[in-house]
Structure 1
Amino acid sequence: MNPVLARWNVLDVESAAREILPCCGSQAWAETLAARRPIADEAALLDSSNNIWLALGESDWQQAFDSHPRIGQLHAVQATAQSLRWSSEEQSKASVDEAAKLTLAEANRRYEQRFGRIFIVCATGKTSAEILGILESRMNNDAANELREAAEQQRQITQLRLRRWLESN
């Protein structure tokens, strides 16, 4: 068994939820995942995470969205230090010059006006131009489809972070 997972399996529920929270940002997700322990292996962890995430309500999804900084920024409405470090790493390829930062900031502002939340994208490996293209394309979504797309992007981010977390020790 993965040593990080083995150690996490024996923590009390509150400590386990607090430790896993940076992988997603939703307290309900973290508490539910911690309550499902013991979890046998990485595949079971990823599967449980997906099942929990998809069963959560919109307010729980919003809490996870709020744990991310806007693309090109370093702060978030609510985030752990670990979550902010991971966000910075995930956006590293999208590090941009000042003109691109301004373009992304304006696009983020328009997105937030339209949908009432920050733009969520699994940014790992994507350039700022790719991210901007995705954002512009998603501006054509209706509110319900965009919420589902944001939730799917968060699911992908969570999967990447869970794998990173398992490799952390």
Structure 2
Amino acid sequence: MPAPSPPADEPVGRPAGRRPPGLTRFNTAPASSVTTALLSCCASPRWARRIAAHRPYPDVDALLAAADEASYDLSAADLDEALAGESSPGLHPAAPPAAHTALRAAHAAYEASFGHAFVICLHGFRPDEQPDQVLAGIRSRLGNDRDEERVVAADELRRLARARLTHVLAHVWANHPAGGDSGRPDSRPDSPSVPV
């Protein structure tokens, strides 16, 4: 019987219990720096404070599990804050003007229906696949009622936070002793998610 595949939002190809240099720095940095860096992954202050408060983490898997648990525990107000901190994914500037127009119209329709930016985790998709994923996601999710869409958006936000946190640990905290520029919420690590 073959081993089950990891979930789509799980990093692949790394052994369990991994402890990259970024995690050591994350565990030992001042709480304010860590909280600010976490806010670049998810704009819920309660989510960020909760993860920062439970340091040190023995490995990345424990940190990601804590991030997931904190995401599942977001109150309605926390989710509103987190969604307010998001921006809808765009297209590469070289995309045809008609594609930009179509995407702007789709985002406007989504935001008018649900009152927040469209969020989708594009981790695992090649850059050339991402525009189609965004448009297909918006079209599909516009059929949801408000309650259904909050559940979907919350899960996409959880997956985004997880992918961003993995990116921050591997690429920012691993290379900068104090977390570098990742501490600013406006320097969100977009590579696993947005923009496209």
Fold equivalence (TM over 0.5): yes
Report the Cα offset of residue 95 of structure 1.
6.5
Q: 1:51 aligns with which of 42, 48, 69?
A: 69
Question: What's 2:109 paired with?
Answer: 110
Question: What's 1:101 paired with?
Answer: 100
Contact 1:71–1:104 (CA under 8 A) maintained in structure 2 = no
| Residues 63-115 of structure 1: per-residue CA shift (max 9 Å, x gap) | 2222222221xxxxxxxxxxxxxxxxxx66x9632111111111111111111
CA distance change for structure 1 residues 155 and 167 in 2, over 3 Å: closer, same or farther? Answer: same
Question: What's 2:59 paired with?
Answer: 41
Matched, 1:166 2:169: yes
CA distance change for structure 1 residues 17 and 110 in 2, over 3 Å: closer, same or farther? Answer: same
The one-letter amino acid of 2:153's match is A
Question: What's 2:22 paired with?
Answer: 4
CA distance in structure 2 between the partners assigned to 1:52 and 1:139 by the alignment:
27
Matched, 1:121 2:128: no
Contact 1:16–1:34 (CA under 8 A) maintained in structure 2 = yes
Report the Cα offset of residue 44 of structure 1.
0.2
The structure richer in helix per residue is: 1
The one-letter amino acid of 2:155's match is E
Taking only aligned residues, the RMSD between alpha carbons, in angstroms, comes to: 1.8
Matched, 1:134 2:137: yes
My pick for the range that moved more, 144-153 or 125-134, is 125-134
| Residues 117-153 of structure 1: per-residue CA shift (max 9 Å, x gap) | 1111113424322311111111111111100100111
Question: What's 1:31 paired with?
Answer: 49
CA distance in structure 1 between the partners assigned to 2:52 and 2:82 by the alignment:
16
Question: What's 2:37 paired with?
Answer: 19
Runs of 4+ in 1 over 3 A off after TM superposition: none
- Which structure is richer in relative contact order (CA contacts within 8 A, separation 6 or more)? 2
Question: What's 2:155 paired with?
Answer: 152
My pick for the range that moved more, 101-110 or 117-126, is 117-126
Contact 2:87–2:118 (CA under 8 A) maintained in structure 1 = no
Contact 2:119–2:157 (CA under 8 A) maintained in structure 1 = yes
CA distance in structure 2 between the partners assigned to 1:127 and 1:16 by the alignment:
30
CA distance in structure 2 between the partners assigned to 1:159 and 1:17 by the alignment:
15
CA distance change for structure 1 residues 47 and 136 in 2, over 3 Å: closer, same or farther? Answer: same
Report the Cα offset of residue 35 of structure 1.
0.4
Question: What's 2:86 paired with?
Answer: 68
Contact 2:87–2:119 (CA under 8 A) maintained in structure 1 = no
Report the Cα offset of residue 6 of structure 1.
1.1
**Which sections of structure 1, spanning at least 5 residues, go unmatched?**
73-90
Helix, strand or coil for the counterpart of 1:167? helix
Aligned residues: 150
CA distance change for structure 1 residues 122 and 9 in 2, over 3 Å: closer, same or farther? Answer: same
The one-letter amino acid of 2:113's match is R
